[in-house]
Structure 1
Amino acid sequence: MATVNTRSPGGRTLSAALTRGDRSTVGRWFWTIDKTLLIIIFALVAAGIVAVAAASPVAARRLSGTALRYDDLHFLYRQLGWVALGLPLMLFTSMLDLRLLKRLAVVGTLACLVALILVPFIGGGANGAMRWIQLPGFQFQPSEFFKPCFIVTTAWLLSLKVEDRSLPTMQMSMGILGVALICLIAQPDVGQSALIAAVWLVQAMLAGLSLSIIGSLAGLGLIGLVAAYFTLDHFATRIDKWVLGTGDTFQIDKALDCFRAGGWLGTGPGEGRMKFRLPEAQTDYIFSVIGEEFGLIACFMLAGLFMGLVVRALLVAMDEDDPFVFLATAGLAAQFGFQAAINMMVNLALLPSKGMTLPFISHGGSSYLAICVGAGLLLALTRCNPFLKGQPWAKSPGRLRAA
């Protein structure tokens, strides 16, 4: 980047790669990005690379057969490729102004909703679930991209109702949610359904929806879970395993064995043995791999990073006077927090198995790229610049706004 030269009142020449008055896209991004959030996200990305390196031999050896052999670090190399795609996508998204961000979120929500509707007709399945649309060399899971787009779209709709109570935007958002939940249950994907519904409830509550209505909706959700128990065999089996300990409890037994083997300090990088008995060690149960090789202290540190991301985002949101930014930031923070908590609790047998990845940590394709999109949206929404007060692109004190 070219050096920008300015002169101080005393006549001295000041040289800096970027100055606070730099109006270029990169210059404005650098001075407005929430660097605390950015550092936490980069720390999670780095932790994910280390975790996938530890879990890669498990998946590679399990999938290697007589006709096909995988290198032990095959999934690490793939993860590095997803990181190389995901980080630029995240940084690009974080540079969006609010108007463009809203438009892209609405378009993304509608496109993903159409894709969810089409999954049963053109999608592919695995382990009894139909959740993916096969693209050349890539599996696209619409529900992963639907989450961040829908959260931002919901924030926009609910913020309009804050300004004009007569607008039926709450009903519109609820309608989109209802269609999405029907599609997800049909796949079936109860975990994603519960996550999306929980985040929507958080946003609706923050937007002023009455507690009586929220309670009624929560009651309907519980009724839906009961109905799923009696109609979806795989869901009932997972609940029975968790509550009664009946049936095949192989997955969770081996996950807990990893934590027991690792203790507080872990066995050391590459020294884990229990991990080779884990199913989906590189995705759903990667937290157990971390527990074995790096110990419970590392697990607490990782949980602390997720907590730091959520708390930091909420602190910024609480200082926000724009209802759209407040609701979108809170919703995205809730998504990251809920998803991380669900994955960790599943690994610790505190929740039934969900098949949900750990953000930034689990190996993944569309799920990893979708997490990067969500992180980019969160960074874009939390951009703050106290140095640009009064400038034409900063329409409200202390917050960056679209020009």
Structure 2
Amino acid sequence: MTDVMRGGRKPMARLGRADQSPMAVWFWEIDRVLLMLVTVLIAIGLIAVAAGSPAAAHRYSGAAMTFPPLYYFWRQLIWVILSLPVMLGVSMLPKQMARRLCLAAAGVLMVCLMLVPVIGVNVNGANRWLGMGFAQFQPSEFLKPVFVVSLAWLLSLKQQDASLPVVPLSGAIVGLIAVLLMAQPDFGQTVVFIAMWGALLLLSGVSMRWIGGLALAGVAGVIGAYLFYPVATRRINDFLFQAGDTYQTDMAHDTITAGGLFGTGPGGGTAKFRLPEAHTDYIFSVIGEEFGLIACAIVVLLYLVIVARVLVKLLDEEDSFTMLAAAGLATQFGVQAFINMMVNVGLAPAKGMTLPFISYGGSSMIALGLGMGLLLAFTRRNPFLKRSPYLAGRGATR
């Protein structure tokens, strides 16, 4: 074989199993099935936003139709293009570097969250954004993934020193975040943060006394929110007693069932034009109308498979921090999807929460890219650990 021919084969060989370059190591360690599932979800999201975009453009541009029908689709495509490098770049980080990044980012974003009531931007009656114009971002969206990793690190310290008061300290931090979110108001995100904290406490092995006490505190918190927090009072009353305006939930039900099992076909939906936030909060209903309830079931299955794959992969994880961080990120991803879909089918009160990787949104898409990148980083496995003691030693030092 000639040198030219050998030279022609070198680029392909660079990702061979013997190659220890950073790109090759990443390629063999990354969970490629998980990456593929997320890519499929993003592709479905682009199709769904294209379906919901005409309804949103009509709603927000009025009779003048200043927005073209696919206005939100093209914007979402830009957000996807921006989020993919974030996801892949973060997935290449070593676990220690990813942890340090999250701890630093969590501190900065906590400060941003405190600034929202002071200098935040009001959109649709909620004060959740910082910045102006195209540069607006929602601190709570970016805080979710880095908070999970930071909380996992804090709770993992208990394995080193059981006397550390990590549970009350983490509870105080979650309480502060909940107060700041409820002031915006953002009841849905508050639920997600508390759910993530509860899941991580269970996984960290805290005593049943703590779990029982926190369960009672949770029940008391829900009752207190209903009695003294007007946003929760209104939404719970609307959901349980049909006491107020139920237009959104009624239209979501009508839209998701309008297409039957197989849908009206792309662009064939009409109920979506009466649906508020067809491209964000209620995009799952748009999928139901245009692509059918079978398509909705496939989307649900995708989320379940992603979460289940992560949790099953962690069954033999020995490092407590890695296990808590990855499980927490998977829980955050699954809980957010579950809440959004429950709202769309009328089994939960409206919360203004997006469907991960499917709903339109700049802050949401980039923050999800960050979170999924972290999840991919913490689920990376060296495929040679059980085959070669030499490579196992190298993998342990990376």
- Could you state the TM-score of these two structures normalised by the residue count of structure 2? 0.94
How far has the Cα of 1:310 moved from its partner?
Answer: 0.2
Q: Alpha carbons of 1:13 and 1:41: their partners in 2 closer, same or farther (altered >3 Å)? A: closer
SS in 1 for 2:152: helix
1:357 aligns with 2:363: no
Match of 1:185 in 2: 182
Code of the aligned partner of 2:182: I
1:165 aligns with 2:162: yes
Q: Deviations along 1:26-83, whole A, 9 cap, x unmatched?
A: 1111111001111110010000000000000011111114677001000000000000
How far has the Cα of 1:220 moved from its partner?
Answer: 1.6
1:146 is matched with which residue: 143, 163, 171? 143
Q: Alpha carbons of 1:15 and 1:238: their partners in 2 closer, same or farther (altered >3 Å)? A: closer
How far has the Cα of 1:344 moved from its partner?
Answer: 0.3
1:342 aligns with 2:302: no
1:129 aligns with 2:123: no
Code of the aligned partner of 1:260: T
Distance 1:327 1:347 in 2: 30
Compare 363-372 and 168-177 and name the one that shifted more. 168-177
How far has the Cα of 1:388 moved from its partner?
Answer: 5.2
Match of 1:98 in 2: 95
1:286 is matched with which residue: 283, 303, 309? 283
Q: Alpha carbons of 1:92 and 1:112: their partners in 2 closer, same or farther (altered >3 Å)? A: same
Match of 2:115 in 1: 118
The aligned runs of 1:38-117 (5 Å cut-off) are: 38-65=35-62, 69-117=66-114
SS in 2 for 1:137: helix
Unaligned runs of 5+ in 2: none
Compare 281-290 and 135-144 and name the one that shifted more. 135-144
Kept after mapping to 2: 8 A contact 1:258/1:275: yes
Match of 1:223 in 2: 220
CA RMSD of aligned residues (A): 2.2
Distance 1:111 1:391 in 2: 41
Match of 1:265 in 2: 262
Code of the aligned partner of 2:204: A
Q: Alpha carbons of 1:274 and 1:218: their partners in 2 closer, same or farther (altered >3 Å)? A: same
Distance 1:136 1:273 in 2: 31
How far has the Cα of 1:234 moved from its partner?
Answer: 2.9
SS in 1 for 2:24: helix
Kept after mapping to 2: 8 A contact 1:138/1:365: no
Kept after mapping to 2: 8 A contact 1:239/1:352: yes
Distance 1:210 1:292 in 2: 47
Match of 1:26 in 2: 23
Distance 1:391 1:132 in 2: 51
Distance 1:245 1:345 in 2: 17
Unaligned runs of 5+ in 1: 7-11
Distance 2:284 2:66 in 1: 26
Q: Deviations along 1:88-137, whole A, 9 cap, x unmatched?
A: 10000000001101100101111111111111111112233211112452
Match of 1:9 in 2: none
1:246 aligns with 2:261: no
2:329 is matched with which residue: 322, 329, 332? 332
Distance 1:130 1:4 in 2: 62
Code of the aligned partner of 1:296: L
Distance 1:344 1:301 in 2: 13
Q: Alpha carbons of 1:203 and 1:5: their partners in 2 closer, same or farther (altered >3 Å)? A: farther
Distance 1:88 1:39 in 2: 15
Match of 1:232 in 2: 229
Distance 2:390 2:288 in 1: 50
Kept after mapping to 2: 8 A contact 1:4/1:15: no
Match of 1:202 in 2: 199
Distance 1:214 1:26 in 2: 43
Distance 1:393 1:124 in 2: 52
Code of the aligned partner of 1:293: E
Q: Alpha carbons of 1:14 and 1:269: their partners in 2 closer, same or farther (altered >3 Å)? A: closer
How far has the Cα of 1:152 moved from its partner?
Answer: 0.4
* Pairs aligned (count): 393
How far has the Cα of 1:17 moved from its partner?
Answer: 4.5
- Could you state the TM-score of these two structures normalised by the residue count of structure 1? 0.92
Kept after mapping to 2: 8 A contact 1:5/1:16: no
The structure carrying a bigger helix percent of its residues is: 2
Code of the aligned partner of 1:234: V
Distance 1:229 1:100 in 2: 42
Kept after mapping to 2: 8 A contact 1:86/1:369: yes
Compare 337-346 and 21-30 and name the one that shifted more. 21-30
Distance 1:213 1:179 in 2: 19
How far has the Cα of 1:15 moved from its partner?
Answer: 5.3
Code of the aligned partner of 2:235: R
Code of the aligned partner of 2:267: G
Kept after mapping to 2: 8 A contact 1:98/1:401: no
Distance 2:278 2:10 in 1: 56
